[in-house]
Amino acid sequence: MAEPSAAVQGASSGAQALRGVGRFCRRKPLGALGAFIVIALLVMAVFAEQLAPYGYDETVRGSRMKPPSAAHWLGTDNLSRDMWSRIVFGARVSVTVGVATVGLAVFLATAVGVSSGYFGGAYDLVVQRVVDAWLSFPYLVIVLSVMAVLGPGLLNVVLSLAVLIAAVNSRVIRGATIAVAQSTYVEAARALGCGHARIILWHILPNVAATVIILATIGLGTAILAESALSFLGFGVPPPYPAWGAMLSGSGRTYMFRAPWMAIWPGVAISLAVFGFNMLGDALRDLLDPRLRGLAR
Amino acid sequence: MNLSRRDLLRLGGAALAGASLVPSVAPAQTPKRGGTLAIRTWDPPHFDPFQTISYKTHIALSFTHSRLLKHKAGPGVVPGTFPIEGDLAESWTQPSETTYVFKLRKGVRWHNKPPVNGRELTADDVVFSVNHFLTAKGNANAYMLRAVEKVEAFDRSTVKFTLKEPFVWFLDMLSNPHAVAIVAKEVLDKFGDFKKHETVIGTGPWMLDSYRPNVGLTFVRNPSYFLPGLPYIDRIEATVDEDNASRMAAFLSGKYDLGWEFPGTVNRVDWVQIKDTLKQKRSKLQTLEFPAPVMSHISMRTDQKPFNDVRVRHAMSLAIDRKAIIDAVFEGVGAMNPPVPAALREWSVPFDKLGDGAKYYKHDPAEAKRLLAAAGYPNGFPGTMCFTPYGSTILVDAMQLVQKDLKAVGIDVKIDQKEYGAYIATCFYGKFESMTFGPQTGFLEPDNFLFGQYYPEELKNQSHINDPVVADMLVRQRRTSDVAKRREIIYDIQRHLAKQQYYVQMPSGIYIAVWEGALKNYGPNMGYDYGGRLMAAWLDR
């Protein structure tokens, strides 16, 4: 008797989830499109071996710089490699770098920004001067210095970009925290005897989450583009493993006039990734922000 | 002369192709004084030629400084050949195998700038410059004159060099734009070194008029230059331009009179894209094609397993599809290189005279696998390959093809990509675990390619070679003054090296030298000596 009941319950929660997805799509069509793109990217990244018809470094004899065709949907590059296969494998690098960088950056920025904005005083003063000093250096100088010490590679790209993006974001999160910390509900929580940890976790963080999400979505695009710059300078993922940025700024740019697809497709992939993450982030912000939640409905 | 890609390949890169975008016959004309020549340049890290091997510095100083000897320049000189003529030296003699005496030109004056204020150059200046070249801390080019035991001034215009041992390349080294720029002691005394742009005081055909960091340099004609009437061109505007799209646009619009890449060329990849537009916009451009001396190679730890087995090295060379590299990265136009690059046409042994070793330059993955199996590596082996991209798409693409070719025979190479500075400090000088892939300096004579890379314990002996047969021949060629005999020794060295494959040589591209039709009496060639090549050129516009 229990089994049919569980099945009915499962079907009902599945239907509920589907209805929720349908409602999300109707109310936030751009957000839904963003979610679709992000899911597609994740699928490409995870199942690259299954989706790509060729290996990322496999050359197809006699197919140098061939335009898009039935045999090669996105054409081939100057080393006779299938562009679609390289774009699919490239998703792995871009998604990994983007998500890992922004995840780490947001974690660091939130920790620094929220603590600095909430506690204020001498702690805030010292932390903000350190951030000021950090921000006064051109970003490429910092990244190149870090990379020169750590050496090229995916992990080091993530670390260096995350630290950089975190410094910028922490300033914004600090501002949002200061505004939220002056709210009456925070004063009320304090009056009721809540500790700092509880106030930060239950009252501050949910109310700066919208800012964090926006920063994260903007940061994803920045991280993917910065990775491309580093790849071009020789600090990214070493070739022949494809990274969209490197494909765009390396041979894509060199052969742009003769084989525009070599630059267009990585560019499209980067734009779509940034667009997808931004749209999804916007929609999530509308849904998650307590102040915007009503408007979202 | 029109040559197809196939023709150029067949000729092994020793071919030359020169053309104008429209047919034109230049009648003999009287040189004209005046005008401004515009070129693209690179921002020098500083101006001290004794503290850097950077082409950025040496190119800038080629306009302002003289040497004892120089390479002849002009349309009559075949690119890849470097006949020697006097620069500050009016004549020279060689009383013995180890003694050279140079007679300096009279009336040579320094640029009219403090602290020398146009005083006359003397033999003491030459002695000072050579000694400073040999003793300045951090001069990576000092090895070029390592054979010098002492240099003395006999009188105001006579300089005598005594060598420790016979060194037949001595005059070539003195002519090389990497080598001794003649400088004044007063400048060193006043400034402490030659790094500041105020120290750019020489006896060359142009004077540095202004230096704008990261923007450009302006050179103006030296009115007191020791060759009467020269130079013809009044002003050289050299613009620092770090973006290729910007450079290409500038060239299309007529901003530069020489091709924007070193040494006054246009990369074939770019050339293919813009040549039709150039036919319309700059129809008088002149071109000349010749092989580039810059050659990449795989170096490896031949003092360790598995590379100490010659069969492994043969397999590596046989694994490389050089024709595919030429097709993919040089637009199908390239030159196959034996140990001395094909660009040095007087010294590079033609492939049909390379002997048994020639077969290892063919692409034969099946034979490569067989050799690996015979050497005890039936499944290949893993290895790391040190690499830096030099900001070059061409190099990155070539490296990827090399990696793929090696993988195809079972050598699974993991790329150890380093930052440029770290690469130069380590892998470039042989400090690596397994393999390194990268370009070598495009020297202008074979000794630098051979002695530096193959003589035991030399800094640039990247493959850690200790081969007594090669070492003996390397020393012998340095002592053989008869050019024909020396060439035969150098050919023998290359034949031996082809059989040993201590380095796996890659093909080179073919330069496309491009210059404005209004620039007369100009002949392109390799090397940093922009000033020398432009000294007797003139503008007809």
For chain A, which domains are there? 22-296 (1.10.3720.10)
Alpha-helix runs per DSSP H in chain A = 2-27, 29-46, 48-51, 83-119, 121-135, 139-150, 154-181, 184-191, 196-198, 205-232, 244-247, 253-254, 261-288, 293-296
H or E segment and range at residue B278: helix B268-281
Residue range B102-117: mean pLDDT, rounded: 97
Average pLDDT over residues B229-257: 94
Let me know how many helices (H) and strands (E) chain B has, helices first. 16, 21
Asked whether residue B24 is domain-assigned, the answer is no
User: For residue B3, is it within any domain?
Assistant: no
For B397, the closest of A78, A144, A233 (CB atoms) is A78
Query: Would B280 be classed as within a structural domain?
Result: no
- Judge: A79–B400 Cβ closer than 8 Å, yes or no: yes
What count of CB pairs under 8 Å joins A to B? 59
Nearest to A79 among B328, B417, B422 (CB): B328
Q: Which of B397, B403, B417 sits opposite A234 (nearest CB)?
A: B417
Interface predicted TM-score (ipTM) of this complex, two decimals: 0.71
Q: With contacts defined as CB-CB under 8 Å, which chain A residues touch B272?
A: 258
Question: Do B344 and B231 fall into the same domain?
Answer: no
Indicate whether B348 and B375 sit together in one domain. yes
- Residues B526, B482 share a domain: no
CB contact under 8 A, B419 and A148: yes
Q: What is the CATH number of the domain that holds B49?
A: 3.40.190.10
* CA separation for the pair B283, B275 (Å, rounded): 10
> Does the beta-carbon distance from A251 to B397 stay under 8 Å?
yes
Task: Confirm whether B261 is domain-assigned.
Answer: no
Q: How far is A238 from chain B (nearest CA, A)?
A: 6
Residue B399 and residue B356 share a domain:
yes
Query: What's the pLDDT at B18?
Result: 45
B374 has a pLDDT exceeding 60 = yes
Region B165-184 average pLDDT: 94
In a domain, B275, yes or no: no
Mean pLDDT for the stretch of residues B537-541: 95
Confidence of residue B26 (pLDDT cuts 50, 70, 90): very low
Q: Terminus-to-terminus CA distance in chain A, angstroms?
A: 39
Q: Helix, strand, coil % (nearest 5) of chain B?
A: 35, 20, 45
- Residues from chain B contacting residue A151 (CB–CB below 8 Å): 418-419, 422
Q: Is residue B15 part of a domain?
A: no
A contact set with B (CB within 8 A): 57, 59, 64, 78-80, 144, 147-148, 151-152, 232-235, 238-240, 250-251, 253-255, 257-258
Q: How far is A43 from chain B (nearest CA, A)?
A: 27
Give how far Cα B67 sits from Cα of B71, B181, B204, B529, Å. Answer: 10, 5, 9, 11
- Rounded to two decimals, the pTM is 0.80
Residue in chain A nearest B419 by alpha carbon: A148
Same structural domain, B174 and B319: no
Give the rounded distance of the alpha carbon of B107 from its chain centre: 32
Number of domains in chain B: 2
Asked whether residue B84 is assigned to any structural domain, the reply reads: yes
The label of the residue with tokens 């974690």 reads A107
CB contact under 8 A, B418 and A152: yes
- Chain B positions in Cβ-Cβ contact with residue A232 (cut-off 8 Å): 391
B325 in the same domain as B206: no
The enclosing domain of B423 has a CATH number of: 3.10.105.10
Q: What is the pLDDT of residue B199?
A: 98
pLDDT at A76: 96
- The phi, psi pair for B19, rounded to 5°, reads -160, 160
Helices (H), B309-355: 310-319, 322-329
- How far is it, in rounded angstroms, from Cα B67 to Cα B324? 42
**Are B527 and B502 contained in the same domain?**
no
Beta-carbon separation of B403 and A240 below 8 A? yes
The pLDDT tens digits of the residues spanning B33-58 come to: 999 999 999 999 999 999 988 889 99
> What is the identity of the amino acid at B38?
A
Strand-pairing partners, residue B520, are: B538
Instruction: Say which of B269, B329, B419 has its CB closest to residue A234.
Output: B419
- Mean pLDDT, rounded, for B438-458: 92
B49-53, B363-367, B389-393 — which is least confidently predicted? B389-393
B195 and B304 belong to one structural domain? no
Range of the domain at B160: 31-236+516-539
Above 80 in pLDDT, residue B16? no
Same domain, B230 and B301: no
- The residue that leads in pLDDT, B327 or B179, is B327
Tell me the pLDDT tens digit for each residue of B112-149. Answer: 999 999 999 999 999 999 999 999 988 888 888 999 99
Residues B74 and B215 in one domain: yes
A151/chain B closest Cα distance in angstroms: 6
Which B residues, 493 through 512, put their C-beta within 8 Å of a C-beta on chain A? Answer: none
Counting as low any pLDDT under 50, the low residues of chain A are 1-2, 296-297
Residues B310, B376 within the same domain: yes
Residue B445 tokens read as 């004579």
B29 touches chain A (CB under 8 A): no
What is chain B's alpha carbon radius of gyration, rounded to the nearest angstrom? 24
Q: Are B80 and B38 part of one and the same domain?
A: yes
B346 in contact with A, Cβ within 8 Å: no
Residue B277 touches chain A, beta carbons under 8 Å: no
* Binding-face residues of B in 303-332 toward A, CB within 8 A: 327-329
pLDDT digits 0-9 by tens, B321-333: 999 999 988 999 9
Answer yes or no: is B340 within a domain. yes
Minimum distance, in Å, between the CA of residue B395 and any CA atom of chain A: 11
Q: Given phi > 0 = left and psi -120 to 50 = alpha, else beta, which region is A28?
A: beta
